[in-house]
Chain A
């Protein structure tokens, strides 16, 4: 990477795999379970978090020297709340149907542990450029898992991707459905997301033994 130094590149690449906020740190599970039944919702959620975390990290980083440490949580909350309201209003204006699907979970980005975690752990102690990269990296790491989970849940649960039927028509019995295949209703309900995330963690840890904690 010519554009970024190796250290900076790691800020983005680390959270994608070996320090993934969902599969390694097990943060932000709540939204990962709730909104991943459809791929579209997963993508929008990932983009929303990307925006909030990228901008938020820069803002906090710029203010890091003037925030009194006693009230820093409140300041962080105000920053993230402002950004979330922006996202929420944009979604309502341009993608009303989708904002209804995501419902309360856009608002709940405020309480997403990943965001407050990055503010506390990184942005308060690093410059704006590094904080920006860190925010983008973590949001991408979160988004990647969301999209993988969303992909499998929508494909197996509804037979569609982004709402487009890919396995045939379940009612007219075309495509795969003609052979007797049926959608897996289990994939629609949130516990399925927990199991898919669990399987991703399993695969990741068996590929990289260094991630396994000593018992």
Chain B
């Protein structure tokens, strides 16, 4: 009689109790229940919801750890205590113990609050509704700390998560029924509710808010922030490799394009996320970036225009800064809120990339538009699917109408052929 047996006995004994979903949630997290289906033959796939979710969480871990190092690095760099990392991704100045410790102690509260609050809300709803606890929050809970500024007050995060999980997910019926991506709903709520903590030039580096206005003030401006103020590419000190490796200020998990790329490849090869959405979103953002670049090249935008900085930004570099890469890989590919049909995925992804760059350039108040673009396309995803399916039915109906239907016996086919000839 091991623990496993005891747990199963406990499970059978307490079925139907009010708190049963809570027990079941923890139990099935660790063990497979020994219940089997009673009727018919079933094909059993190895990839259940838990494995899917865990794969996504695993692909986020590199971004999380990098985020911890980067938090410390940006802080100490802004204070002038360390030198900029100059020799590639494995720069000794970046991967220091000090950087990690600071980032770790700043990040862990965000992660803990995210999971505790989110899962509590989820558990409460499951107990009230008598549902099985779904694992939907596992990914959301990991995404949320990665897409907020490091110095965000924890109570704001709590309020936003309660709002996001209840209004964004539970009112629609819980995991799998939501229209909007819950992590982005949480971010959108934070952005509109507490804009001073979610945008501007202070929040992106730890310590910049506390020191603002004093003699020790440090800047927490992001690359996009510089560009939105009309400053040219040569006016900030970040090189292309800094942007690609992620040695730049920003939301915790979004900076390292390299690690996002790795996570994305992992998701594509494990067939969790759709490569169609990722590829088309990249194409969409490149197209929009090229359009802006060619407008600048044609001389239609004067240099004093407030859009000049972002419009003249090299088109492919849009993918390296801000949350675009992170959004495309981890948010746009959410299988619940995205398009379901293959053709729909191309349209959906393309528009996400296209709109992200457009909002980025034209929204003067806030130089990032990825989360708005994805939320907007979340809303349109069912519409896109609807028209894709309609189009498919129409095409096949037409094919059916124009088809020649041969008689069944071969003799009659011969006769028909001679007739048509």
A residues with a Cβ closer than 8 A to B are 180-182, 184-187, 189, 195, 198, 202
Instruction: Return chain B residues, CB-CB under 8 Å to A182.
Output: 156, 194, 196-197
Q: Is the CB of B153 within 8 A of A184?
A: no
The proximity string for B residues 353-385 relative to A, scoring 1 for CB distances below 8 Å and 0 otherwise, is: 000000000000000000000000000000000
The reply on B195 being an interface residue by CB < 8 A is: yes
Kindly state whether residue B155 has any CB partner on chain A within 8 Å.
Answer: yes
Interface centre among B155, B189, B192, B197 (most CB of A within 10 A): B192
A185 and B194 contact, CB distance less than 8 A: yes
Taking a contact as CB atoms under 8 Å apart, the answer to whether B155 and A184 are in contact is: no
Given contacts A195-B167, A202-B171, contact A186 B189 (CB under 8 A): yes
In the bound assembly, the distance between CA atoms of A184 and B194 in angstroms comes to 6
Instruction: Please measure, in the bound complex, the distance between the C-alpha atom of A195 and the C-alpha atom of B159, giving whole angstroms.
Output: 15
- Identify 16 residue pairs between A and B in the complex whose beta-carbon atoms are under 8 Å apart, listed by A's number: A181-B155, A182-B156, A182-B197, A184-B159, A184-B193, A184-B194, A185-B193, A185-B194, A185-B195, A186-B189, A186-B192, A187-B193, A189-B192, A195-B167, A198-B167, A202-B171
Are A185 and B192 interface neighbours, CB within 8 A? Answer: yes
Query: Inside 8 A of B192's CB, which chain A residues have their CB?
Result: 185-186, 189
Chain B: interface residue count, which band? 10 to 19
Set of chain B residues within 8 Å of A180, measured between Cβ atoms:
153, 155
- Tally of A-B Cβ pairs under 8 angstroms: 23
CA distance A33 to B351 in the complex (A): 30
Q: Which of A180, A181, A184, A195 has the most CB of B within 10 A?
A: A184
Contacts of B194 in A (CB 8 A): 182, 184-185
Min Cβ gap A138→B in Å is 27
Q: Mark B144-158, 1 if CB is under 8 A from A, else 0.
A: 000000000101100
Roughly how many angstroms separate A185 CA and B171 CA in the complex, as a whole number? Answer: 23
CA distance A182 to B152 in the complex (A): 12
| B155 / chain A contacts, CB cutoff of 8 Å | 180-181
Q: How far is the CA of A181 from the CA of B194 in the complex (A)?
A: 11
B residues 145-201 in Cβ contact with A at 8 Å: 153, 155-156, 159, 167, 171, 189, 192-197
Please name the residue on chain A nearest to B167 by beta carbon.
A195
Alpha-carbon distance between A185 and B193 when the two chains are bound, in angstroms: 4
CB distance from B109 to the nearest CB of A (A): 14
List, in ascending order, chain B residues with CB within 8 A of A186's CB: 189, 192-193
> Which residues of chain A are within 8 angstroms of B196 by Cβ–Cβ distance?
182
Assembled-state Cα–Cα distance A162/B167 (Å): 28
* Contact residues in B for A187 (Cβ distance below 8 Å): 193
User: Once bound together, how far apart are the Cα atoms of A123 and B197, in whole Å?
Assistant: 53
Residues of A within 8 A of B189 (CB): 186
Residue of A nearest to B197 (CB): A182
Name which residue of chain B comes closest to A199, CB basis: B167
- Extra 17 A-B pairs, beta carbons < 8 Å, given A184-B159, A185-B192, A198-B171: A180-B153, A180-B155, A181-B155, A182-B156, A182-B194, A182-B196, A182-B197, A184-B193, A185-B193, A185-B194, A185-B195, A186-B189, A186-B192, A186-B193, A187-B193, A189-B192, A198-B167
Give the contacts of B300-359 with A (CB-CB under 8 A).
none
Bound: A86/B109 CA distance, A: 58
**8 nearest CB pairs, A to B:** A186-B193, A186-B192, A184-B193, A185-B193, A185-B195, A180-B153, A182-B194, A185-B192
Cα distance A187–B197 in the bound complex, in angstroms: 16
Q: CB-CB < 8 A to A185: which residues of B?
A: 192-195
Q: Which of B369-417 contact A (CB under 8 A)?
A: none
Interfacial chain A residues near B153, Cβ < 8 Å: 180
**Contact partners of A181 in chain B: CB under 8 A:** 155
Cβ contacts B124-157/A at 8 Å (1 or 0 each): 0000000000000000000000000000010110
Residues 24-46 of chain B, each 1 if its beta carbon lies under 8 Å from chain A, else 0: 00000000000000000000000
Task: Tell me how far the C-beta of A143 lies from the nearest C-beta in chain B, rounded to whole angstroms.
Answer: 25
Bound CA–CA A182/B156 (angstroms): 9
Q: Determine the residue in chain A with the shortest Cβ distance to B188.
A: A186
- Cβ-closest chain A residue relative to B196: A182
Specify which chain B residues have a CB less than 8 angstroms from the CB of A202 in the assembled complex. 171
Q: How far is the CB of A184 from chain B (nearest CB, A)?
A: 4
Closest to A182 in B: B194
Q: List chain B residues, Cβ under 8 A from A184.
A: 159, 193-194
Closest to A181 in B: B155
Residue in A185, A189, A198 with the greatest tally of chain B CB atoms within 10 Å: A185
- Quote the shortest CB–CB distance from B174 to chain A (angstroms): 15
Bound-state Cα–Cα, A181 to B159, Å: 11
User: What is the bound-complex CA distance between A185 and B159, given in angstroms?
Assistant: 13
- Assembly CA distance A16 to B289 (angstroms): 54
For B194, the closest partner residue in chain A by CB is A182
Q: How far is the CB of B184 from chain A (nearest CB, A)?
A: 15
Tell me the bound Cα distance from A181 to B154 in angstroms: 11
Expressed in whole angstroms, the Cα–Cα distance for A12 and B189 within the complex equals 38
A213 nearest CB across to chain B (Å): 16
Q: Could you tell me the distance between the alpha carbons of A163 and B196 in the complex, rounded to whole angstroms? A: 23
Within the complex, the shortest CB–CB distance from B190 to chain A, in Å, comes to 9
Taken together as a complex, chains A and B put the C-alpha atoms of A181 and B193 apart, in Å, by 12
Closest to B159 in A: A184
Assembled-state Cα–Cα distance A181/B155 (Å): 8
CB-nearest residue of chain A to B189: A186
Q: How far is the CA of A180 from the CA of B194 in the complex (A)?
A: 12
B157 to chain A, nearest CB (A): 13
Complex Cα distance, B155 from A128, in Å, reads 55
Closest beta carbon of chain A to B125's beta carbon, Å: 12
